[in-house]
Chain A
Amino acid sequence: QKEVEQNSGPLSVPEGAIASLNCTYSDRGSQSFFWYRQYSGKSPELIMFIYSNGDKEDGRFTAQLNKASQYVSLLIRDSQPSDSATYLCAVAGSNTGKLIFGQGTTLQVKP
């Protein structure tokens, strides 16, 4: 079992819709969770982090964390073509500062 799992996609949504990206992790001791966006040929960019159960909103982005289910998600409201990218879920190891990355989900927002 992979430590951090994401559906590779591609996830295709129409412009203006809500995109829902999901991630599960195996280490129950994990405390810190991150979403990065990576455009093709570029390096990852941190867009959200969440430490507590529940929802965290930042503009069009909402991160959701459920530690009991070992599940973290990212919602993108009013999706734009510029949101088309690969979204990487990352989890900090319970005993180290290293981030464990999922394989990423490719999002395509169609005009």
Chain B
Amino acid sequence: GAVVSQHPSWVICKSGTSVKIECRSLDFQATTMFWYRQFPKQSLMLMATSNEGSKATYEQGVEKDKFLINHASLTLSTLTVTSAHPEDSSFYICSAQGGASYEQYFGPGTRLTVT
């Protein structure tokens, strides 16, 4: 149980374009989903927290107009990187949390390269 999928697993896009990443909880209802970014040899950096049906809460320093998050259902959250730049190239990972416990189950991640 507790399977989280992400799509796509990797994407290459040109500078100035937008990229959408999907995160799905496959076998449980995720009341909360989290989006992280990880640069090489660094730890996870939480970008935002999203609850189904409400606006995402962004961490300090994360531009909400650049990283659009939608949590339309209890099994799907999306992250759209708008007007991507090379410095946005990173490993983006979502996680899902359900029920009363705090365990987070991670998706396999999306590697974004902006050229």
Q: Which residues of A contact B (CB under 8 A)?
A: 32, 34, 36, 42-46, 49, 88, 90, 92, 97-99, 101-104
Contact = CB atoms under 8 A, between A and B. Distances in A.
B41 to A, nearest CB: 9
A99 B43 contact: no
Interface of B: 2, 32, 34, 43-44, 46, 49, 91, 93, 97, 101-109
Contacts of A101: 43-44
Contact of B103 (A34, A88, A98): A34
8 contacts: A32-B102, A34-B102, A34-B103, A45-B106, A46-B2, A46-B105, A98-B49, A102-B43
A99 B104 CA distance: 8
Contacts of A104: 43
A42 B108 contact: yes
A98 B101 CA distance: 11
B15 to A, nearest CB: 24
Contacts of B104: 34, 46, 90, 99
Nearest to B44: A101
Nearest to B107: A43
A101 to B, nearest CB: 5
Contacts of B102: 32, 34, 92, 97, 99
Given A43-B107, A102-B43, 6 more contacts: A34-B104, A88-B44, A97-B32, A97-B49, A97-B102, A101-B44
A44, A90, A92, A101: most-surrounded residue (chain B CB, <10 A): A44
The 8 closest A-B pairs by CB, nearest first: A92-B102, A43-B109, A43-B106, A32-B102, A43-B93, A103-B43, A44-B106, A101-B44
